[in-house]
Amino acid sequence: MRPLDSSGAAEVPEPGLWLTDDAPQGAIEEPPAAESAGTPGTGRCWLFGSSPCGLCAPQAKKKAPCPGLGLFYTLLSAFLFSVASLFVKKVQDVHAVEISAFRCVFQMLVIIPCLIYRKTGFIGPKGQRIFLLLRGVLGSTAMILLYYAFQATSLADATVITFSSPVFTSIFACIFLKEKYSPWDALFTVFTITGVILIVRPPFLFGASAAGVGESYSLHLKGTIAAVAHAVFGALTLVILRKMGKSVDYFLSIWYYVILGLLESIIILFIIGEWSLPYCGLDRLFLILIGLFGLGGQVFLTKAIQIEKAGPVAIMKTMDVVFAFIFQIIFFNDVPTWWTVGGALCVIASSTGAAVRKWCQGSK
């Protein structure tokens, strides 16, 4: 859910975050297939149908995909991610960290068979293990923060803020990878900061009445901070994935994400004393659906990236925000304020501009 990096595994973006819905919503990088190319293993993975699990098949001539199919997959992915986010918001009796733990268990059941098929092992290359550990910790932290943001603030606000991830990715890539930070990147950063300010509406700028100062605003502020922190951690995850490049298997990156995410969630739950099985059968159903819809969204997003250029996919991915607005109105009877709409336009303009610029640069 939601914000690819972004991905995030991505990302790849997210993404390492591609099989997770915690990927930064606005970050779309290279196709996972490209990330997996040249990695060991010849088995086929049931997740991606008849495609070789991690290897391109040069001997087979692929049929040209239907025009617009990649964008349709992206739209379907955005819908599934938004539904998963809706279920996270609905499960109010289960702490966000516990939801993350359940999600990691679900992911683990999917990733282990894929790693066995690919015969890549569970540890990774010796020189990349520190980066895999960082990827796992940062990615899982981003997921926990995202789920907390969904529970603490409105669905629309949290979703919009996650789309600020590409801006942070550009900054961190400039610092750690020495990538160029252009005036366009600075402009997109200004747009993103403006959008976040419009959503947060700090009282010292907007006054007490506009900000809605009180207990509800305090919770809204916590959720907003969590969403921004999710975007930051997601961006750091993307930078690490870029650093590792093709030297690390795609599914191995996700394996570190889920195993470290589960350990992190269990430790936090014992510290805060929030561990408890959901009493309501509906909450249990929601937890299962969060995993199913999140996984389905990631699979369709992966397929979209494999057959469509990253730029159009990143632009279509902004439909996450539209679905979030619709679900917030229908299921929570909460009409977004004009401040939120204005902030959403600023953030979407920033993430879309960054995607189009990267797309144009890649086409030269």
At 146-197, the pLDDT tens digits run 999 999 999 999 999 998 888 898 899 899 988 888 899 899 999 999 999 9
Q: What average pLDDT does the structure give for the chain?
A: 80
For the ranges 55-64, 80-89, 136-145, 164-173, the lowest mean pLDDT is seen at 55-64
Distance CA 352, CA 305 (A): 16
Higher per-residue pLDDT: 27 or 149: 149
The number of CA neighbours under 13 Å toward the Cβ of 56 is: 12
Cα separation, 75 vs 97, whole angstroms: 28
The confidence band for 215, taking pLDDT boundaries of 50, 70 and 90, is: low
For the chain, what percent of residues have pLDDT higher than 70? Answer: 78
The per-residue pLDDT for range 328-339, each reduced to its tens digit, is: 999 999 888 888
Local confidence band at 233 (pLDDT 50, 70, 90 cut-offs): very high
Look at residue 69 in the predicted model and tell me its pLDDT: 86
CA 244 centroid distance within chain: 19
Q: Which residue has the higher pLDDT, 159 or 27?
A: 159
Quote the pLDDT of residue 304: 85
pLDDT at 315: 81
- When pLDDT is cut at 50, 70 and 90, the band that residue 279 belongs to is confident
Q: Give the pLDDT confidence score for residue 242 in this predicted structure.
A: 85
pLDDT at 37: 39
Sequence-distant (≥ 6) Cβ neighbours of residue 154 within 8 angstroms: 220, 223, 328, 332, 334, 336, 340
220, 223, 237, 249: which is closest to 166 by C-alpha?
Answer: 237
For residue 83, the surrounding DSSP H or E stretch is: helix 69-90
Confidence label for 8 from pLDDT (cuts 50, 70 and 90): very low
pLDDT of residue 204: 63
Alpha-carbon span 309 to 28, nearest angstrom: 10
In angstroms, how far is the first alpha carbon of the chain from the final one? Answer: 32
- Please check the confidence at residue 227 and state whether its pLDDT lies above 90: yes
> Which pLDDT band, with edges at 50, 70 and 90, does 236 fall under?
very high
**pLDDT at residue 62 above 80?**
no
Inter-residue contact 134 to 80 (CB < 8 Å): no
Q: Is pLDDT of 17 > 70?
A: no
The DSSP 8-state label assigned to residue 275 in this structure reads -
Residue 88 is predicted with a pLDDT of 94
More confident site: 301 or 231:
231
Can you state the angle between helices 129-152 and 155-162, rounded to 10 degrees?
Answer: 150
Instruction: Identify the three-state secondary structure at position 93.
Output: coil
Asked if residues 3 and 320 have their Cβ atoms less than 8 Å apart, the reply is yes
DSSP string, 280-339: SHHHHHHHHHHHHHHHHHHHHHHHHHHHS-HHHHHHHTTHHHHHHHHHHHHHH--PPPHH
Query: Tokens for 237?
Result: 């995850």
